[in-house]
Amino acid sequence: MPALEMSLVEAMRHLSGKHHNENFLEDTILNSDINRVRHLFYFLKAKGREIEITYMQERYSARISQISEDELTLTLSGFKEGAIRRCRLRFEAYKELYQFEVPILLIATDQIVVKTPSFIQSVQRRVYPRIRPDDLFMKFIIYWRPLLGMTGPDFFSESRYPQIIMELRKDLPNLYLLNRIFSEEIQKISPTFRLKIYSKDDPGGESLMEKVMRSTGKSVYIKDVGKIENYYENMVHDKLVNYRGVYLKLLKEDSEENRADEYFKELHNKERNEFLSSYVCVPLRIYSRIAGYLYVYTTALEKNILSYEQALRLELLCRLMSYAMSKSVISRYYYANPVTRVVDIGLSGLLFELRDEELYKYTIDNSFIKMEIPLRQRTLKLMGEITRYFPSEKVYNVGVRFLESAPDDWRYLEEYVYNVSKSEESRISF
């Protein structure tokens, strides 16, 4: 191949990032990107900044532990190795957002080694720069939105309980009042019911009904105790279950149907001797954890059975009550005092830190929050929507986009960001 063609091929390979020599130590001329890239990673390491890693559709938070001539050692936790040997790095430095796709060279316990990027692949300057205050904390509470959607039949099913909804809109729901309304609504369906809240001393019974309710997370509904097929018939519903799973498991363990049939005949006779006619057991939750249950039943003396509609109404009531209990827990701790650390903040939103894994998961389905942030001379009152999540070991960072605020709060926030930014710049220049 002529020398001119060779030089053109080498130039094209170099521009496309596929140069045959992958050691970029020599590419350190003033106009190349490699100096800027290395400077960025040394800056992140010196500041202890986190890098977001996207790998196999999973996100991880990592920090740079070591920088060599053409490799980066990143420390992280919970990394799950897959077939792909590339990952994406994303971070902010000097008020700019950078993204790199790099090859993974080595995966070890709590560490991965990646190739140092040779050029700037993606950079975007923030419209609203963010600062990283060291001593800024906030209060927050989840904001009520219809659990089943803003429109359609589900929304109207919630609107049948206006007193409950009115209380759920408050920052601290009155659980005593809600319990009274809750009990009255249950009695309209059946006068016989039992409400159970678990405790450390009483973690729950070992009845089949409770086991199925806790293992599936759904309401156990037996429409008619008088018909044994109601215990294990196929029930196609996303909120109600019976004992079909137990029945199929017994059949699998014993090829003959005798064992499964005998088990449910015994259960059927036991509940008939207790004069049960129908029943439903609905879980009560704090966050996503089952904290108790509501057991509603009818007896043979009443000559009444619980319908599907009534079972679903009880399920909805328990969902509303679970929301009230969860919101009360958040309000009494996270909204009573500013204990939640703000990682960074700007005019468009903020990033805050959670250490409670259950609460972190709960915010995924309850993403609208109300925040109060005490600044030097004013407490900002803001509404926001959670848009991003960054899980890591024992710490969960949550990104919020601001939606609205109290009058003049934007101006005070802008002044605060400007003053802190200027203070940081003066310290760096000094």
DSSP string, 117-149: PSS--EEEE-SS--B--SS-EEEEEE----TT-
List of E strands, 300-354: 340-345, 349-354
Same domain, residue pair 264 and 387: no
Q: Return d(Cα 145, Cα 197) in angstroms, integer.
A: 26
Domain assignment present for 239: yes
Kind and range of the H or E run holding 429: helix 409-429
Per-residue tokens: 30 = 């003033």
Q: Domain boundary residue among 283, 311, 332?
A: 332
Same domain, residue pair 303 and 387: no
241 confidence band (pLDDT: 50, 70, 90): very high
* Residue 397, C-beta contacts closer than 8 angstroms, at least 6 positions apart: 50, 61, 343, 351, 352, 353, 354, 389, 390, 391
41, with CB counted inside 10 A (0-12, 13-18, 19+), is: buried
Same domain, residue pair 311 and 165: yes
The gap from C-alpha 258 to its chain's centroid, in whole angstroms, comes to 45
Q: Return d(Cα 385, Cα 401) in angstroms, integer.
A: 5
Residue type (1 letter), 327: K
Same domain, residue pair 91 and 35: yes
236 confidence band (pLDDT: 50, 70, 90): confident
Residue 12 has pLDDT above 70, yes or no: no
Residue type (1 letter), 154: D
Q: What is the pLDDT of residues 148-185, one digit of tens each?
A: 655 555 555 677 888 999 999 999 999 999 999 999 99
151, with CB counted inside 10 A (0-12, 13-18, 19+), is: exposed
What global pTM score does this model have? 0.73
356-375: b or e for each residue (b if 16 or more CB lie within 10 Å)?
eeebbbbbeebbebbbebee
Residue 256 has pLDDT above 70, yes or no: no
Residue 149, CA distances (Å) to 24, 282, 298 in order: 54, 21, 32
Question: Helix (H, G, I), strand (E, B), or coil: what is residue 34?
Answer: helix
Vertex 372 angle, CA 340 and 358, to 5°? 40
Per-residue tokens: 134 = 């060291």
Q: Domain boundary residue among 307, 332, 357?
A: 332
Per-residue tokens: 408 = 């003049």
Count of structural domains within the chain: 3
pLDDT for position 429: 40
pLDDT for position 22: 42
103 confidence band (pLDDT: 50, 70, 90): very high
Residue 127 has pLDDT above 80, yes or no: no
Kind and range of the H or E run holding 151: none
Per-residue tokens: 225 = 């105790």
pLDDT for position 328: 96
Q: What is the pLDDT of residues 363-408, one digit of tens each?
A: 988 999 999 999 878 899 999 999 888 877 778 899 999 999 888 8
Q: Return d(Cα 119, Cα 103) in angstroms, integer.
A: 14
Question: Helix (H, G, I), strand (E, B), or coil: what is residue 242?
Answer: coil
In sequence order, the β-bridge partners of residue 139 are 372
DSSP 116: P
Same domain, residue pair 213 and 228: yes
Domain assignment present for 161: yes
Question: Helix (H, G, I), strand (E, B), or coil: what is residue 422?
Answer: helix
The percent of residues above 70 in pLDDT, for the chain, comes to 86
Q: What is the pLDDT of residues 318-354, one digit of tens each?
A: 999 999 999 999 999 999 999 999 999 988 899 999 9
Same domain, residue pair 194 and 237: yes
**What is the extent of the structural domain holding 421?**
137-142+335-429
Q: Domain boundary residue among 279, 297, 332?
A: 332
Domain assignment present for 46: yes
pLDDT for position 23: 42
Same domain, residue pair 167 and 313: yes
Helices (H) and strands (E) in the chain — how many of each? Answer: 11, 18
280 confidence band (pLDDT: 50, 70, 90): very high
Same domain, residue pair 251 and 206: yes
pLDDT for position 341: 94
Domain assignment present for 130: no
pLDDT for position 290: 94
Vertex 325 angle, CA 384 and 350, to 5°? 20
Same domain, residue pair 181 and 256: yes
Residue 341 sits in a domain of what CATH number?
Answer: 2.40.10.220
